[in-house]
Structures are given as C-alpha cells and as structure tokens.
Amino acid sequence: MQMVTRLFGPDFTTQMIVSGLIWLAIIAAAVVFSLLKARQLRTGLLVTATALIIVQAVGVASLWGPAIAASMDAHAEHQQVIATREGLYNVSSKKNVVVFVLDTTDTAFVQKLYDEYPETFASLTGFTWYRNSVGSMIPTRYGVPSLLFGSRPQPGENFNDFVYNWAQSDQYLKDIQNAGYQAGLYTDQLNYSRYRGYSTEVFHQLPRASWSRHR
C-alpha cells in the first residue's frame, strides 16, 4: 500500500489539483465573457462549430479512400497480393525444389565460411551450391525480379515502363506451374505494386527476408 501511495499519491494529486483549477478558471472566464460580450460569444461559438464541422467532414472523407481501394481491389485488374505464411513449411512427399537467396552475401564469404566452419552446412543435405553464379542486376529490387522473371532492360526501353511491366511477360514461373509444380515465393520486402497485373497468388510476406520455391 505504501508503494502505491508513493507512485500514484503525491505527484498525481498535485497535477489533478492544478488541472482542476485551470478548468475552473476557463469555465468562469467563459461565463463572465458570455455575460459581458454575448454577441462576440455567439460569433466565437459559430466559428468553433464551423471548424468542427470541417474537421469532421475531412475525417469522414478520409474514410472513403480505403473503401474505394477495397472496391477497386475486388476487380481483377486491381487485385493486390495478400500476405500470408500459408504453405511456407509445406513440401511435397515427392520431389521438391527449394531455393534460398541470401541478399548482399558475397560468394567469397560463403566459401570462407565453408572452409573455416564446414559444420555450418552439415544439415543442408541434398542442396547444390553453384559457386560460379553472379548477380544480374543491382540493387536487390532489380536483381530479384531478374532472377524470378528473367526480365532485363532492353536498349532504348523506358526504365519506368520496364519496372512497371517486368512481370507481364514472365514465363518462368508459369512454366513451373504448367509442369505440375506449385510455386511459393516468400520475402519480407516484396513491393506489391510492382507486380500489378501478374498472377500474384504465389507471393507471400515474411518477417525476415527469404525467398523460396516449393512443390
């Protein structure tokens, strides 16, 4: 009980008294002003009411944006990705292909890690390490689409058009699906708006960066 008194007693009591006195002063001033300056008070109340109406109208209008966006998303041409972990840890009882992409990881560092601490890779049985692989584009936001879609800028192509449409002409993931595989891509930094118009049910978002594909 003494601890409660020390924590919540003296400090908050003083604040409550000061706050109460301030409010009493405000109320008293409003009463006196209304008696002496009734016309000015009505004008002030009118201005205040108008300001409150404007604030409320802006608040209501701000709610229309998400509603309109939700309505647009209901149409196929405006569909966006739904972030989910569904299927992250599911693999086939048959043959699986799982790919881990480590961002900003130099192959030379991986080789050094393998030479000095080979036990790090002991549990990664069944994987193939491609030592002769190199990045296709930088930074990552361009390199990953190049990896997934095989899209590269063409001479004379507008770069904004390339970025916006780099998933439109993709055949790689479609070929995987047509071969009877189910593909799941997992990341924590997927820019949904860049994949508009693509069949995006294969994309999922994670709290940590990792891409994988599974059957």
Where exactly are the structural domains of the chain? 2-76, 79-205
Say how many residues make up the chain. 215
pLDDT at 64: 66
Burial of 194 (0-12, 13-18, 19+ CB in 10 A): middle
Q: Let me know: does 211 contact 187? Beta carbons within 8 Å.
A: yes
pLDDT at 116: 93
Helices (H), the chain: 2-8, 10-36, 38-73, 107-116, 140-149, 159-165, 172-178
- Within 37-88, residue ranges assigned H as helices are 38-73
| pLDDT 10s digits, 53-90 | 888 888 777 766 665 555 555 444 444 445 566 777 77
Residue 16, C-beta contacts closer than 8 angstroms, at least 6 positions apart: none
Positions in the chain whose pLDDT score sits under 50: 1-10, 74-81, 192-215
Specify the pLDDT at position 79: 47
Pick from 214, 191, 183: nearest CA to 83? 191
**pTM of the full predicted structure?**
0.36
pLDDT computed for residue 3 by the predictor: 39
pLDDT of residue 190: 52
CA distances from 139 to 11, 27, 100, 163 (A): 54, 61, 18, 13
The pLDDT assigned to 195 comes to 47
b/e per residue 5-31 (b: at least 16 CB within 10 A): eeeeeeeeeeeeeeeeeeeeeeeeeee
